[in-house]
Amino acid sequence: MEKQRGSFTNKLGFVLAAAGSAVGLGNLWRFPYLAAKYGGGIFLLVYIVLAVTFGFALMVTEIAIGRKTHLSAVGAYAALDKRFGFIGYLSSIVPFIITPYYCVIGGWVLKYFTVFLTNQVAEAAGDEFFTGFITQPAAPVIFFVIYAGATALVVMMGVEKGIEKASRVMMPLLIVLTVVIAVFSVAQPGAMEGLIYYLKPDFGRFSATTVLAAMGQLFYSMSLAMGIMITYGSYMKKETHLEKSVRQIELFDTGIAFMAGLMIIPAVFAFSGGSEEALGKGPSLMFVTLPKVFNSMKFGTVIGAVFFLLVLFAALTSSISLMETLVSILMDKLGWKRRKASIVTAVYLLAVGIPVSLGFGVWDFIAPMGMSLLDFFDFLSNSVLMPIVAFLTCIFIGFVVKPETIIEEAEVNGELKSKKFYKVMIKYIAPVCLVAILIFAVMEAMGAIAV
């Protein structure tokens, strides 16, 4: 079965997953709106602390599991211990939840690219433009279908290679452009207050919600607790220094998220006054704020068009590898051919994505637990399922497989410097925190505690 899948797509899938997992909408779209909403500096601080402690331990674990077993998540857990194979299945549910709504956001990015192409930047800078767009019955669905269709086409034809080549050029450009826009944003009158809000932690705003949000974001952005890093690890060479690679991935991923925040949050203060309402916009924040920035920029239309094109590519590499993950699971587990698996996956994406898209307009009466459908799926994966997978992984590694096994794998090529820390983290600190966070998440969602 493994052979039939072909090492070509397989290896490619890996490269894409690696690149796609590093940078995507998680960094550019999700991080800034969470940081804006959950207190700015305090969110940033909590995120960084979690990344170097908890995120570090979990990423080392997942990559080591993959490299040791040479298997992707579904097989890897079972290979270590038959009784725990279910964790692999559980983790592979996560990309099934994420991919449809990821493509809905991809559709929004596509829409904004066309808005700038057709020179509607002044309109887009208006306060009601975004809401006007997502509440329409047809337009957002059309953009979603085009975006999801493009993703599916690439996966079905197995032509990820072209996209990957293109994104090698696009990624560095995106980083440069993000820096340019961030510098411009920060230089706007009124932005200073936003810069302070973003960089200076206000401990008075620390709460369990901050930690929950930061942890969910960590999983999402670094593609943890969903089996992806295990697959990534299964292709990692023994010669590669595991700890160093993990540090590099974390630094890179966090660096880009940080720049995205710098591009958006000071601009919220400069252009929308930094009120609680302006900061709490959630998923729409990037789409509401950036057009205002581009509108006040010289050559803003062109820069905006290029920017959204680059974001589109960053999003595409991610949605392609997300969809590739789903397709591989179906191919492996059900023995389906690529074509069949791709078509079924595409139908699934449409079936879930269309309601998510309509959930902001004509179908907004569907509001599970008081959330929009998009927020609901996001909550389900990032605040519920991923903490459960992470918790089970910690217990499994900490007490069944034993941390020594992971440490040994990490040390095939060079010492794991944070050995003692790793052990304590994976056995005690992480699981305890995860349970606390999970209980809190569910209680909050049920409305048991008001925040």
Give residues in contact with ligand TRP (CB under 6 A).
17, 20-21, 24-27, 98, 220-221, 223, 226, 228, 318, 321-322
- Two tokens at 318? 């991610």
- Distance between CA atoms of residues 295 and 285, nearest Å: 16
CB of 286 to ligand TRP, least distance (A): 13
Closest approach, Cβ 376 to ligand TRP, in A, equals: 17
- How far apart CA 402 and CA 396 sit, in angstroms, is 8
Q: How far apart (Å, rounded) are the C-alpha atoms in residues 301 and 203?
A: 39
Least distance to ligand TRP from the beta carbon of 245, Å? Answer: 16
Rounded to the nearest whole angstrom, what is the least distance from the CB of residue 27 to ligand TRP in the complex?
5
Nearer to ligand TRP among residue 221 and residue 328 (C-beta):
221
Helix axes 41-50 and 208-221, enclosed angle (nearest 10): 60
Q: How far is the C-alpha of 260 from the C-alpha of 201, rounded, in Å?
A: 18
Please report which helix (H) or strand (E) contains residue 73, including its range. helix 73-80
Q: Is 195 helix (H, G, I), strand (E, B) or coil?
A: helix
Please identify, using beta-carbon distances, which residue of 116 and 219 lies nearer to ligand TRP.
219
Specify the residue, 167 or 221, whose C-beta has the smaller distance to ligand TRP. 221
Contact 64, 234 (CB under 8 A): no
Residue 139, classified by CB atoms within 10 Å of its CB into exposed (0-12), middle (13-18) or buried (19+), is middle
Please say which residue, 13 or 403, places its beta carbon nearer to ligand TRP.
Answer: 13
- Considering beta carbons, is residue 326 or 358 the nearer one to ligand TRP? 326
How many C-beta atoms surround the C-beta of residue 162 within 10 A?
Answer: 10
Percent helix, percent strand, percent coil in the chain, to nearest 5: 80, 0, 20
Please, what is the minimum distance in Å from the beta carbon of residue 72 to ligand TRP? 12
Is 102:312 a contact under the CB 8 Å cutoff? no
Between 36 and 322, name the residue whose CB sits nearer to ligand TRP: 322
The greatest distance separating any two alpha carbons of the chain, rounded to the nearest whole angstrom, comes to 61
Contact 185, 264 (CB under 8 A): yes
Alpha-carbon 140 to chain mean position? 21
424: its two tokens: 């304590």
Q: Are 35 and 265 in contact (CB under 8 A)?
A: yes
Kindly state the DSSP code that residue 284 receives in the 8-state scheme. G
Cβ atoms of 103 and 319 closer than 8 Å:
yes
Locus of tokens 């959630």: 282
Min dist. Cβ of residue 256 to ligand TRP (A): 9
Minimum distance from residue 324 beta carbon to ligand TRP (Å):
8
Instruction: Tell me whether residue 113 or residue 184 sits nearer to ligand TRP (CB atom).
Output: 113
Question: Judged by CB, which is closer to ligand TRP: 251, or 439?
Answer: 251
CB of 362 to ligand TRP, least distance (A): 28
Report the nearest approach of ligand TRP to the CB of residue 331 (Å).
Answer: 17
Which CB sits closer to ligand TRP, 323 or 406? Answer: 323
